[in-house]
Chain A
Amino acid sequence: MRFHFTDEQTQFRDTLRRFLQTVSPTTAVRRAMVTESGYDAAVWKRMAHELGLNGLVIPEQYGGAGFGLVELCIAMEEMGRSLLCAPFLGSSVLATYMIRLAATDDQKQRMLPALAAGESIAALAFAERNGGFDASSISTLAARVGDRYVLTGEKFYVLDGMSADALLVVARIGVSDGLSLFLVRPDAKGLTRRALEVIDPTRKLAGITFDRVDAELIGDADTAAPALERTLDLGNIALANEMVGGAARLLEDTLAYTKMRVQFGRAIASFQAVKHRCAEMLLSVELAKSAAYFAAEAVDEGRADVDYLSSLAKACASETYLQTAIDAIQLHGGIGFTFDQDTHLWFKRAKSSEVLFGDATWHRRRMMQRLPAKEVA
């Protein structure tokens, strides 16, 4: 493990930060978050064309940049800082990894280049209303009809499901113990989708119902469960990095505010009650960064304990991001609770990220189930 970023990676971060400062100031966030799709299509195209972000982890043979998780996580951290509204986590991370891990070469050839080019958006529909993000309780049913399948059931909490033109649906064929992955077009007959009302308007979720909807099997039948678990491991690590980016930004903005805000004849940043809270915020953010960075590097180094580290990083980031957001609002005082002030935008992202793909308690339990025989670090 290196424990530091290379000069190239730091340059990549700087480039991204400048780009995001231009395309995703909070005025842009506020514009995008009130739309149904939740993102700016022109920015999405620029991300693909100017920076190659959409295909960051798509192999070069499929039109992508072929980078590893560390580079992806740098992008996620920067997007978390600027609260970018885009279907990046749903399409460029989750759906992309799922296709990479589950699809046949022919299917990859059909789907990945379009994703890399920013011409297509895919969503991974696995969660359901009852089981939440727990893949073991998936009950959407697939039935074989000739060489195709029909799906019946309901998917919920589908990240970027409204903006996707390709839906990757995880379902069970009959009473199979295994899971299978299907490609469904959102305009297919029998499919209805709606935007769910969410607490975090910067992250859009869809509810989708399937009534005998035509579907194409992706990869082999009954073998999608390991790919889904790995995808979620990588997705959680990416999300954890996005979360620490958001938390770091909240801390910076809060510090700037406390240095400017004067009460009792002095900047409130000079009060120990404020300083000590900020010092603890910094500690929490740096620890969460270390966990998120370590997990990303562990994937690129091919370590065997990625499942454990993924849950560790996500649990850590969940507690840190939300607590940082709580502290940020607290230190802003009354103004922090207003809609016009921006802190609540990150607070809502912190809250939704905390719960997305399993909250801290769920991931801590999973950590202990996946505890490596020999402890890390």
Chain B
Amino acid sequence: MNEDAIRTEVRAWLEANWDSSLSLVEWRSRLVDSGWGMPEWPRAWYGRDFSSAQARVVQQELAKVGAVGVARTGIRLLAAATLLEHGSDAHKTKFLRPILTGADTWCQLFSEPGSGSDLAGATTRADFKDERWIVNGQKLWTTSAHHADWGLLLARTDWDAPKHEGLSFFVIDMHQPGVTVQPLKQMNGHASFNQVFFSDAVVDPEHLVGKLGNGWAVAMTTLAHERRGADGMRSGAADVGTAASRTGRVHDEERKEIETVMAPYTWYPQRAGRVDLAVPRAKETGRIDDPTVQQELAKLLILSSSAEWTARRARATQQLGKPQGPEGSLGKLAASHVARAAARVHTLIACAEALLSGVDGAEHGVIAEILLSVPAVSIAGGTDEIQRNIIAERVLQMPKEPRFDTGPFRDIPRNTQ
């Protein structure tokens, strides 16, 4: 289908169907069933087998009339992508539509207190008893678990198999007595994540995704989509501005949806160091005349600009369809350096005010929030140490270290809780 044909057809459909007085779920149901909500998905599952270029055309037409798109917040699209690739037809029939309409919310139950960087060392167990899976254990850093309907669960089903081969992937119903969700308060005072406790929680046998013992491969699919930025964190943030300016029931409900999801993450920009505040604050406070401030500020600008240009180089290479150079693997590590340098500069600029937070603090506490949030950057989404391993082994082709986690999982040394 060429671009003009797509535009004509989408316009005609929107003319007949787009109505901002509908409820959010009502509207999205129409959109999803029409195949215009996720045109890059397969025809059999709410899509049209479109290329990403064709899908962009559809997106543009929706944006022109201000039509709300499918639900994207949270990890729901990671769940959808995982189920599309590994789920059975029954899974797809049951889960995909409410994911896209926003009727159901999802969370990802991978990290544990005992396995952070070493995700495959999960010890949450699923045992098959009386024709059901019984789950026991604890998950951590779970976004949205407190309002999630379903969870993507990575659990150990075979303790005698090697580490990566004893894991299975399930969809678990979060609304049941065996699942307890508690907020996890962070050092910066926010509670953006949860810990989830499983005590004889139950999973229907048909909610196993992929084959028994193949959970690691399924989880890798989820993580690959997360790395590609398919989660709703960024797109959600971008949508806030658009949604704010529009009226009608569907927009009101979308705004509420985004606000609910984004509320725990107001500190994310601060986590990255807020380089944008450095020069303006140095000027406002007059600290820019201090030679030490100048030096540190210049170091920060060099770091943040060169990191941005490195990312642009990576994008340009990608767009040309050329083989990716090392510049594509460095963004995460560069971001850690930038955030730390920014925290240092903000401290220098603030002087004694760096002692204060909240209403007494510089920029009404934003600077304090930077100082207390930056330590997360070099941990979340893969620690700096893991990033350096990845760069060394995959980019620089350096040999792996000897491993001590082969053989039956039962015999591998692990954390005692």
Contacts and interface: CB of A to CB of B under 8 A. Distances in A.
Interface of A: 1-4, 255, 258-259, 266-267, 269-272, 274-276, 278-280, 282-283, 286-291, 293-294, 312, 315-316, 361, 364-365, 367-368, 371, 375-377
B204 to A, nearest CB: 43
A312 B392 CA distance: 28
A316 B326 contact: no
Interface stretch (B30-38, B217-225, B246-254, B299-307): B299-307
B398 A282 contact: no
A364 B388 CA distance: 28
Interface string B276-320: 000100000000100100110111011111111110110111001
B301 A375 contact: yes
A371 B300 CA distance: 13
A346 to B, nearest CB: 18
A274 B369 CA distance: 34
A1 B312 contact: yes
A287 B330 CA distance: 9
Nearest to B276: A375
Q: Which 4 A-B pairs have the closest CB atoms?
A: A275-B392, A364-B298, A290-B309, A279-B388
Contacts of B398: 255, 258-259, 269-270, 274-275, 278
A224 B222 CA distance: 62
Given A259-B399, A283-B330, A368-B297, 8 more contacts: A269-B398, A270-B399, A270-B401, A279-B396, A287-B307, A290-B310, A375-B279, A377-B312
Contacts, number: 131
B402 interface: yes
Contacts of A1: 312
B400 A286 contact: no
B25 interface: no
B385 A4 contact: no
Contacts of A271: 401
Interface in B314-345: 315-317, 320, 322, 326-327, 330, 333-334, 337
Contacts of B330: 282-283, 286-287
Interface residues of B, number: 46
Contacts of B298: 312, 315, 364-365, 367-368
A91 B354 CA distance: 51
B385 A376 contact: no
Nearest to A316: B302
Contacts of A280: 333, 388
A266 B398 CA distance: 12
A272 B401 contact: yes
Nearest to B288: A368
B387 A279 contact: yes
Contacts of B29: none
A4 B313 CA distance: 6
Contacts of A279: 333, 387-389, 391-392, 395-396
B389 A272 contact: yes
Interface in B31-85: none
Contacts of B160: none
A282 B315 contact: no
A129 B21 CA distance: 78
A296 to B, nearest CB: 12
Given A287-B307, A371-B279, A275 B393 contact: yes
A290 B301 CA distance: 13
11 contacts: A270-B400, A272-B385, A276-B389, A278-B396, A286-B327, A287-B303, A290-B313, A316-B302, A367-B301, A367-B302, A377-B308
Contact of B391 (A3, A282, A287): A282
Contacts of A315: 298, 302
A365 B291 contact: yes
Contacts of A2: 316
Contacts of B295: 361, 364-365
Interface string B383-417: 00101110111011111111000000000000000
B401 to A, nearest CB: 6
A293 to B, nearest CB: 7
Contacts of B402: 266, 270
B294 A312 contact: no
Nearest to B302: A316
Contacts of B299: 364
Given A3-B316, A294-B309, A278 B392 contact: yes
